[in-house]
Amino acid sequence: MPVTSSPVDHPAAALLAWYDRAGRDLPWRVKSGRAEPYRIWLSEIMLQQTTVEAVKPYFAKFLATWPDVTALALAEDQAVMTAWAGLGYYARARNLLACARAVARDFGGRFPETEEGLRALPGIGAYTAAAIAAIAFGERAIVIDGNIERVITRIAAIDTPLPKAKPEIRAVLEGMVPADRPGDFAQSLMDLGATICTPKSPSCLICPLAEACVARARGQATAFPVKPAKKGKKALQSLAFVVLDPQSRILLSTRPAKGLLAGMAEVPNTAWSAGPSGLQAAPLAADWQRLNQPVIHIFTHIDLRMEIAVARLSAVTPALEGMRWVDVGKLDSEPVPTLFRKVIEAGLRALG
């Protein structure tokens, strides 16, 4: 009788069998048949440095407002930035628009079907191009995200620190990715990392790749991946000014087109620096009151402490150059990022 191979002899087969049975149901995912490139691209851009649960409502909102890439390409910049507000990393929203317009203009509204072609589009890096190529077009692309890095470094016990370990991770994956279902294989690794091969408490007993995992065999699963020492963050401060006029309008401006929170709406605030700022930096003369409770906001490389000063004007005052008065009831139509939403909410509470 011929010898029958076990699933462990074929990690991809074992993983795909598990994925078919236990893979996550996600709004952009199709488990049978070819996924829609627009949905995969949109979800992958949104998921960069953001959790699945945070992305779901934004994905649904974007899909309802702009159901395909051509519709998104025709959208106004501010409408997209406003819809994105709160999701963070706002350069992604600007790249999203640039990419949609390039696809509509140069490719007739159809995404390129190869990893190389996708890589040439604005805002699509190596990972995103590979993910779209594999999931939407069935190309045997090597997809490597944070979850996949963790799974593969554990399976192969790769002790080279990240990100230097990427070539070794890619080499392992080269021998694993099946010619058929490469997109499902990539998603199965993502799901495995998200639900079983988790950072701190991996569920090795129910892992479909447990018998193939070197780190598990050594009892060292949580020792991988090896990461370099974290660099210290900058601690910066600023003073924000929340002011209302007699018509219940709040003073806003738009941040520069480049840099952190580029193009988003903000209340006037001082330069982000290492030292405190005083009320003399206020945008206009008023009876400013400094609040006791700052807003603390954590960026990737910055810990920001934003103090707040509030004032209520007794007379209608023209907006300063580069600023505008916005009805408080219409703030939802402005691209206000999470940081300044917190600041505005605190200021409005104080003003009653």
Helices (H), ranges, the chain = 11-22, 37-47, 52-65, 69-73, 77-84, 91-107, 115-119, 126-137, 146-155, 166-174, 182-195, 214-218, 338-351
**Within this chain, do residues 160 and 212 fall inside the same structural domain, yes or no?**
yes
- Residuewise pLDDT in 10s, the chain (352 residues): 333 333 334 789 999 999 999 999 999 998 766 789 999 999 999 999 889 999 999 999 999 999 999 999 999 999 999 999 989 888 999 999 999 999 999 999 999 999 999 999 999 999 999 999 999 999 999 999 999 999 999 999 999 999 999 999 999 999 999 999 999 999 999 999 999 999 999 999 999 999 999 999 999 999 999 998 878 889 999 999 999 999 999 999 999 988 889 889 999 999 999 988 889 999 999 999 999 999 999 998 899 999 999 999 999 999 999 999 999 999 999 999 999 999 999 999 999 8
Domain boundary among 203, 223, 243: 223
Token pair 């974007």 is found at 62
Cis before 163 (ω within 30): yes
Compute the distance between CA of residue 330 and CA of residue 327 in angstroms, rounded to an integer: 5
Tally of domains in the chain: 2
**Within this chain, do residues 130 and 215 fall inside the same structural domain, yes or no?**
yes
Which amino acids are annotated catalytic? Answer: 44
Burial of 109 (0-12, 13-18, 19+ CB in 10 A): middle
Kindly state whether residue 279 falls inside one of the protein's structural domains.
yes
Joined together, the tokens standing for residue 315 give: 């007379």
Kindly report the CATH number assigned to the domain that includes residue 210: 1.10.340.30
